[in-house]
Amino acid sequence: MVHFVIVGVLVIASTLGLGLLLTNAPILPLMASEQAVTVDWLFNIHWWLIAFFFSLITVFILYSVFVFRRKPGERGDGKFVADNHRLEAVWTIIPIGIVLSLAVIGASTLADVERRDPSALSVDVYASQWVWRFEYTVEVPTEAGESVLTAVASDRLILPLGQQVVLRMRSTDVIHSFWVPEFRVKQDILPGGSEFVRELRITPTEAGTYQVMCAELCGQLHYAMVAEVQVVSAAEFDAWLAENAGDCNLTDEQCGQRWAATYGCTACHSLTGQSGVGPTWLGLYNHEVTLTDGSVVIADLDYLHRSIVDPNAQVVAGFQPGVMPQDFAERLTEEQIQQIIAFIVSLQQ
- Of residues 232 and 271, which shows the higher confidence score? 232
Summarize pLDDT for 334-343 with one digit per residue, the tens: 888 888 888 8
Q: What is the mean pLDDT of residues 123-130?
A: 87
pLDDT value of residue 151? 67
Categorize the per-residue pLDDT at 320 as very low, low, confident or very high, splitting at 50, 70 and 90.
confident
Categorize the per-residue pLDDT at 87 as very low, low, confident or very high, splitting at 50, 70 and 90.
confident
The full set of domains in the chain, from first to last, is: 2-70+82-113 (1.10.287), 121-245 (2.60.40.420), 252-346 (1.10.760.10)
Q: Taking the CB of residue 241, how many other CB atoms lie within 10 A of it?
A: 17
Q: Taking the CB of residue 48, how many other CB atoms lie within 10 A of it?
A: 17
pLDDT value of residue 316? 86
pLDDT value of residue 201? 93
Euclidean distance between CA atoms 268 and 246, whole angstroms? 28
Answer whether 216's CB lies under 8 Å from 111's CB: no
For residue 328, is pLDDT > 90? Answer: no
For residue 216, is pLDDT > 60? Answer: yes
pTM comes to 0.71
For residue 325, is pLDDT > 70? Answer: yes
Summarize pLDDT for 248-264 with one digit per residue, the tens: 777 888 888 888 877 77
Amino acid sitting at position 151: A
Summarize pLDDT for 135-174 with one digit per residue, the tens: 887 665 555 555 555 667 788 899 999 999 999 998 888 8
Q: What is the mean pLDDT of residues 76-102?
A: 84
Give the torsion through C-alpha atoms of 91, 97, 98, 102, to 10 deg. Answer: 160
pLDDT value of residue 161? 93
Euclidean distance between CA atoms 113 and 92, whole angstroms? 32
Report the relative pairing of strands 165-171 and 198-202 from DSSP bridges.
antiparallel
Report how far Cα 170 is from the mean position of its chain's Cα atoms: 13
Summarize pLDDT for 7-24 with one digit per residue, the tens: 889 999 999 999 999 888
Rounded percentage of the chain residues whose pLDDT exceeds 70 = 94
Residues 6+ positions from 301 with CB-CB distance below 8 Å: 341, 345
Residue 123 forms beta bridges with which residues? 136, 167
Summarize pLDDT for 26-64 with one digit per residue, the tens: 888 889 999 999 999 998 999 999 999 999 999 989 988
Mean pLDDT of the chain: 85
Answer whether 42's CB lies under 8 Å from 108's CB: no
pLDDT value of residue 131? 85
Instruction: Return the sign of the alpha-carbon dihedral for residues 152, 165, 168, 308.
Output: positive
Rounded percentage of the chain residues whose pLDDT exceeds 90 = 29
